[in-house]
Chain A
Amino acid sequence: MDNFLQQLINGLTLGSIYGLIAIGYTMVYGIIGMVNFAHGDLFMLSAFIALILFMILTQILHLGSLPIAFFVVLVGAMALTGLWNWTIERLAYRPLRGSFRLAPLISAIGMSIFLSNFVQVVQGPRNKPAPQLPNHVFNLTDGLGGAKGAYSVTLSVRQILIMVVTTVLLAAFWYLVQHTSLGRAQRACEQDRKMAALLGIDVDATISITFIIGAALAAVAGVMFVMYYGVVNFADGFVPGVKAFTAAVLGGIGSLPGAVLGGLLIGLIEVFWSSYFTTDYKDVAAFMILAITLIFMPSGILGRPEVEKV
């Protein structure tokens, strides 16, 4: 039971990171029907940006207060990653809009190769260890007088921070999509781009903003990733990227709550599988569940079934 609780906490933490990345996939897919393969690498880039911003603040500007530094790094990484994704969309995807389906996919794969190698060239191929931060760990089983020795359920400040920031940002983002004119324009573009344009919505700008929002959420995940694992490498984008994409598809691609749900599920499956079975096959488990879900529930958990008109 204690182990179960502990794994639940770990799984939710990991799942939050996947969920944040998955939103970027699902939003871009929803609005232009394109699988943005470069999104995982954008997440990795944002982790690097966050790491360097943090070091600029602490080493060059000698900022003492950690909460302020964390906040500045979060906002800065979101803004700069948003700028990156805006530029990427402008240069690599916009010229291919309206072209056939595989063209933007290949362009995105090229962009993914470009981004990971770009980071390798400018920052070097080695692992970058992040500076150690104080991390208070709460022992949840202390007060209960429970289990001696074998397991104790712990919850660290970082894990709390990850879950709280994820929840707050998701709530803010949900409000943005459901209750603002920007969100309405975006949902309109998702349903019918041509009609939305006829009704005076600036489709190009809306799509650009979608990319920026997706990148900003990926940057949040990047900041969390560096903070949680304490190390980042130029090749770290691919696996979380594929898993987040899996999460988006599992939840029903195009559906925002689905992406978060899928992310949490993938995180939980991975953590529980590693804990109760074997770490070796945790990725196989995640992919198998994806395949099984899609075969029996082809539009994901919360996705709308695709109806084909003849």
Chain B
Amino acid sequence: MTAAPQSKPLADPDAKAAPSIVPALRNAFAAALVAFGLCFPIISYHAESNINNELVLVSRWPLSLGIAAVVFLFFFFRQVSPPDWRVWFDRVGAVAAGGMGGALAESAAEGEGTAAPSKARTRFSEWFGPFALGVVILFPLIMLGLLGPNGSLKWINNYGIQIMIYVMLGWGLNIVVGLAGLLDLGYVAFYAVGAYSYALLSTTLGLSFWICLPLAGILAAMWGVILGFPVLRLRGDYLAIVTLAFGEIIRLVLINWVDFTNGYAGISGIPHVTFFGIPFNDEDNGFSAIFHLPFSPIYRTIFLFYLILALALLTNFITLRLRRLPIGRAWEALREDEIACRSLGINTTNTKLTAFALGAMFGGFAGSFFAVRQGFVSPESFTFMESATILAIVVLGGMGSQLGVAIAAAVMIGAPELMRELDWMKKIFGEDFDPTQYRMLLFGAAMVVMMIWKPRGLVSTRSPSIFLKERKAVSGDLVKEGHG
């Protein structure tokens, strides 16, 4: 990549001046002082409970002084180095702050640029989509071939299925946020409705997954309309906060209505998925026995993977087709200009409600898949953090871009999972060092860094739904975000 001034999270406005030692020292000293101030009570002292459950302070001065020293050196060398190098300093700083997430994102989206789309890029994205799809379809088989049935279980389950759930949720939310431009911070409510629909219908009425799946979607869509109806008049941040409130209300009701949902304890013993009626167990009528295979839990996992893949692709296919229908065009028109939309006779009420309902429906499908995969649901899984993560996936992917959402989901969900694999770092930093506790810390920092690095998302081009003569990708900057 060229040294274009894309992101300068640490840049000073007066950084253009010729490098000289004294101002550099002064600047670096100021930065180190700020760093020290930030560290002063919270890092320098650790408040620990002793045996009598009283707090005592344990001092950790070397750590905070070390941080201040690193900041000093970083700013000093950044200031005295030639201007060309500063970009690299910023980049190193950003990656150091954003950790793995930022680095992975950089490599994952190397082919996409923020500049106007060139022919080569367009060809790249045309080629990349089907290629990625092929890799994803073959993923369980490749893993099975490489690692065997036991070794591959973790990779297919923790990475494959987990990422695909978020890809599907991202695509579902993309209808509401990316296409219709309605900012929804409570999307996880519909995910919860889907999960609890399947959990309750299957444990109380004994319905099978294949009957519950559409029912869960319909119920979630109904809730989408119920929650969407009162907020039709709201716009922008007011819409965001009310959807957040609705999401929290649904979670709180799930916690407190103990007779119906079993509260915090959740619902366990949810029936597992079957291969269209054939259970995945080691009995005579089980999947392994019927297909004359040695019994292994891997078959169910692989089946679940293809199930969520099919559901996600269904979401994608329906979204892409809907974009070309009048309703899809109405969504995008609503996002671009609501008043013009209304002046041209588009029924904005119906348009908004269908966006909410369809987005919610896919959330409901994903939810019931979540329930059948876990075999257990509890309100803990449906916190605001989930909504925020899904929204972050949609925004980071570049709102409205299907491929971008998929890449963002892989990065955002895959990178924190990869952080669990860092046990080798214990050899360097000693046995007490636990890399997994920095997982969410780096996740948050990576979100900030990626946003600064690419505010318009990883995929910065959009393909228009209608075009004259030939399809040309347009820059994402031209697409409005809607008023909500």
Binding site for B on A (CB under 8 A): 29, 35, 37, 45, 48-49, 51-53, 55-56, 59-60, 76, 80, 83-84, 87, 91-92, 95-96, 99-107, 109-115, 117-124, 126, 128-131, 238, 242, 245-246, 249, 253, 280-281, 283-284, 287-288, 290-291, 294-295, 298, 306, 308, 310
With both beta carbons as reference points, the residue of chain B lying nearest to A118 in the complex is identified as: B441
Q: Is the beta-carbon distance between A95 and B395 smaller than 8 angstroms?
A: no
CA distance A253 to B249 in the complex (A): 22
Q: Is the beta-carbon distance between A129 and B55 smaller than 8 angstroms?
A: yes
Interface residue? B42 (CB, 8 A) = yes
With both beta carbons as reference points, the residue of chain A lying nearest to B177 in the complex is identified as: A102
Q: Is the beta-carbon distance between B41 and A52 smaller than 8 angstroms?
A: yes
With both beta carbons as reference points, the residue of chain B lying nearest to A295 in the complex is identified as: B230
With both beta carbons as reference points, the residue of chain A lying nearest to B40 in the complex is identified as: A80
Given the known A-B contacts A117-B444, A283-B252, A295-B230, are A60 and B57 also in contact in the complex, defined by CB atoms under 8 Å?
yes
CA distance A245 to B237 in the complex (A): 11
Cβ–Cβ < 8 Å partners of A245 in chain B: 241
Cβ–Cβ < 8 Å partners of B289 in chain A: none
13 residue pairs of the A-B complex, CB under 8 angstroms, read: A48-B47, A51-B47, A52-B41, A55-B47, A80-B41, A87-B34, A103-B395, A103-B456, A110-B392, A121-B438, A122-B42, A281-B252, A295-B231
Q: How many residues of B contact A (CB 8 A)?
A: 65
> What secondary structure prevails in chain A residues at the interface with B?
helix
> Of the 9-residue stretches B6-14, B103-111, B307-315, which lies at the interface with chain A?
B6-14
Interface residue? B54 (CB, 8 A) = yes
Cβ–Cβ < 8 Å partners of B235 in chain A: 298, 306
Q: Is the beta-carbon distance between A113 and B42 smaller than 8 angstroms?
A: no
Cβ–Cβ < 8 Å partners of B199 in chain A: none
Q: Is the beta-carbon distance between B47 and A121 smaller than 8 angstroms?
A: no
Interface residue? B222 (CB, 8 A) = no
Q: Is the beta-carbon distance between B481 and A291 smaller than 8 angstroms?
A: no
CA distance A102 to B384 in the complex (A): 17
Given the known A-B contacts A60-B57, A80-B37, A123-B46, are A298 and B234 also in contact in the complex, defined by CB atoms under 8 Å?
yes
Cβ–Cβ < 8 Å partners of A45 in chain B: 42
CA distance A48 to B445 in the complex (A): 20
Interface residue? B446 (CB, 8 A) = yes
Instruction: Please tell me which one of the listed residues A49, A102, A291 contacts residue B399 in the complex, with CB atoms under 8 A apart.
Output: A102
Chain B, 33-48, contact with A by CB distance < 8 Å: what is the 0/1 string? 0100110111101111
For residue B283, give the distance in angstroms from its CB to the closest CB of chain A. Answer: 43
Chain B, 244-256, contact with A by CB distance < 8 Å: what is the 0/1 string? 1110110011001
Given the known A-B contacts A35-B237, A129-B53, A246-B241, are A114 and B445 also in contact in the complex, defined by CB atoms under 8 Å?
yes
Q: Is the beta-carbon distance between B9 and A295 smaller than 8 angstroms?
A: no
CB within 8 Å of A: which B189-245 residues: 230-231, 233-238, 240-242, 244-245
